[in-house]
Amino acid sequence: MQKDNTNIFNFIKDRAPILNVIGEHVVLKKAGLYWKGPCPFHDEKTASFTVSPLKEIFYCFGCHTGGDVITFVANIEHCTPIEAAKHLADRYNIAIPQTVSREVSEQSIDDKKRYFNLCEFFARWAHKELERYPSMTSYLLKRRFNQESINQFLIGYFPGDERAMKELIKEANKHSFIAKDLLDAHLIEQGKTNLYSPFEDRIMFPIRDHLGRFCGFGGRVVKKEDERSKYYNSRENNFFQKGSILFGLDLAKKSIQKAGYAFLVEGYTDCIAMAQHGLHNTVATLGTACTLEHLKLLSYHAHTVYLVYDGDAAGQKAMLRLAELCWQVNLELKTIFLPESQDPASFLETGGDMSAMVPHARDILDFFLSNLGQEFAAQNLQQKLENIKTFLEVLKRFDDPIKQSIFLQKASETFGLPLEVLKKQLERTDRVTQPSPKKEEISPSEPHLFDGVTAVEKKLVCAILNNTLLLQKDEVARLIEYMPSGLQAIIKKLQNAESVHGQKVFTHFFETLEYPEKQLVNRLLLSQDEHSELEDVDQLLLMVEKKYWKMIVNGTKQKIAQAQQDNDAHKVNDLVVSFLKLKDKLIRRGLI
């Protein structure tokens, strides 16, 4: 079958309007030709995030992030471009014909998709099995899981009998899976004489990644006599890493973005309990300590995270570990300690008001400092020095001098030491070599594209990008060869796209650009309030020709000399006539 010239990216972009896609994540307001809103990629007070529905591009003048609808989804969902394209195809029900070029897809992508599909099948099968066992549904209802949550989180059950295993294999075959697929994913295992599953006789909690793809499972025993560990999670593999997945994030992220903050709890049962009580901006770790990757994921959606941990020693220890990570993400971490012997589920079930706890939450550094300062006076000198050093090493990593000053003052009171002593010690503390991670900003190679470029040149290039018919003007063709190499390369790519693709010029042209070029094009186009009129273009051409006048003179001399050497009298005449016309025009305008 013959392939279409359109690749999968262009095919998707033609069918997933950028305004609709970005509008699901950002509140946009019309501003002239463009739409503007707060940037989802960095914290800002003024709306510098701009979208052009006509050109199908976006650009933030604050953090310099820009691109097309594929770039936006890849950035907002933290996935690869091909995954972003496939995500859009699924979201907007876009069927991709076999004729569309798929050269960017790889076997690993297909393997990942098959694994996710297998997990989704397994989750839905277990959910249906739950319906066959009213006693298990009653068990969940007694544990305060309502039917809405059971359906929303697709809670299931894996019966511990031979019938269930046979039924599972049979149903898997109907969905184009075989027993080996289930074995390879470790959803079932091969025993000495038969197949079994570590999830048998367990309530099943499907785990989805931030894109909503089923990727693993948590299982909880239900029988009192069951001596196995209470919880069992899927084995980690290439597509399921507990340290980088937050339970419930796919369902919670819109609520988190709307509220501006998230609750982080320690398990999926607590997460579901929080959601049932209207706290839909809640996520959970998967029975593991919170990692830097977890915090990074949350920083993409929230400004503040409230850590809701048990008030016991283990909960406090977990908080202390997080305090040493918090400087590495652009997040305000605050601590909420529940009454001793209570977890979020029991706290809410007994009438506790989690929202009322928010105003009393403590900054994690404040908690960290207080913990270090406990019984400080009774400690020996070595312990005191170690605690002070530990605190200053964490504080040193913060870029915010105001935050440093506030906590230095608190440390002075906590440790009973003069503020100036702590300040001097902080200055002497060796700066940690690992830099604070920042969101990916504009490529370092972009600035050179603007080197020596004047405002009128930028306006001219913008006019050409908006109206490719200008490429046919003799003045434009002449000026291109004198432009800085960065702009010259962009316009030549535009010429190539126009000659090949006709109407869909910009979409195909944009695909040919390197990342720095895309950023420059977005920045140029979205910095213009309105399209240049033809008479404005004529004036721009004159202004740019004035700038390049000496180069044009020297270039014309060289071309005339070459034409004379080639005995091409006609070309010599054309060059002279064209040059004199330009010179006369510039003289009459008083530009030379």
What are the residue ranges spanned by the domains of the chain?
A: 8-91, 107-240, 244-369, 375-428, 447-588
> Can you list the alpha helix ranges (DSSP code H) found in 429-504?
455-466, 474-480, 485-501
Which of the listed CATH numbers 3.30.413.10, 3.40.640.10, 3.90.980.10, 3.30.565.10 matches domain 107-240?
3.90.980.10
User: Over the stretch 61-110, which tens digit does the pLDDT of each residue have?
Assistant: 888 888 899 999 988 887 778 888 888 988 888 888 776 655 444 455 67
pLDDT-derived band at 219 (thresholds 50, 70, 90) equals: very high
Q: Which amino acid is at 572?
A: V
**Structure confidence at residue 1 (pLDDT):** 42
**Structure confidence at residue 135 (pLDDT):** 93
Question: Would you state the torsion angle of the CA atoms of residues 322, 324, 325, 326, taken in this order, to the nearest 10 degrees?
Answer: 80
Q: How far apart are CA 213 and CA 83, in angstroms?
A: 12
**Structure confidence at residue 175 (pLDDT):** 94
Which of 197-201, 285-289, 436-440 reaches the highest mean pLDDT? 197-201
Question: What crossing angle do the helices spanning 364-373 and 401-415 adopt, rounded to 10°?
Answer: 20
Partners of residue 29 on adjacent β-strands: 36
Partners of residue 306 on adjacent β-strands: 263, 334
**Structure confidence at residue 531 (pLDDT):** 46
User: Over the stretch 300-325, which tens digit does the pLDDT of each residue have?
Assistant: 788 899 999 776 666 667 776 777 67
**Could you tell me the CA-to-CA distances from 570 to 479, 563, 573 in Å, in that order?**
22, 9, 5
Mean pLDDT of 400-404: 78
Which of the listed CATH numbers 3.20.20.370, 3.40.1360.10, 3.40.50.10610, 3.20.20.80 matches domain 244-369?
3.40.1360.10
Q: How far apart are CA 404 and CA 307, in angstroms?
A: 22
The pair of structure tokens assigned to 245 is 């997945």
Give the residue carrying structure tokens 């319906």.
Answer: 131
User: Over the stretch 449-466, which tens digit does the pLDDT of each residue have?
Assistant: 555 677 778 888 888 888
The pair of structure tokens assigned to 534 is 């033809």
Give the residue carrying structure tokens 């693709």.
Answer: 501
Q: Report the percent of the chain where pLDDT is more than 70.
A: 88
CB 432 within 8 A of CB 394: no
Q: Helix or strand or coil: residue 138?
A: helix
Mean pLDDT of 426-445: 46
Compute the 3-state secondary structure of the chain and give helix, strand, coil in percent, each to the nearest 5.
55, 10, 35
Which of 41-55, 68-82, 128-142 reaches the highest mean pLDDT? 128-142
Average per-residue pLDDT for the chain: 83
**Structure confidence at residue 387 (pLDDT):** 81
pLDDT-derived band at 4 (thresholds 50, 70, 90) equals: very low
Cα-based angle 564, 570, 571 (whole degrees, multiple of 5): 60
**Structure confidence at residue 542 (pLDDT):** 82
Q: How far apart are CA 355 and CA 494, in angstroms?
A: 55
pLDDT-derived band at 510 (thresholds 50, 70, 90) equals: confident
The DSSP output letter for 448 is: G
8-91 maps to which CATH number? Answer: 3.90.580.10
pLDDT score of 445 more than 60: no
Q: pLDDT higher for 101 or 575?
A: 575
Question: HSE of 15 in the Cβ direction (CA atoms, 13 Å)?
Answer: 19
User: Over the stretch 288-306, which tens digit does the pLDDT of each residue have?
Assistant: 778 888 888 888 788 899 9
Lowest mean pLDDT among 118-122, 221-225, 521-525: 521-525
Question: HSE of 329 in the Cβ direction (CA atoms, 13 Å)?
Answer: 23
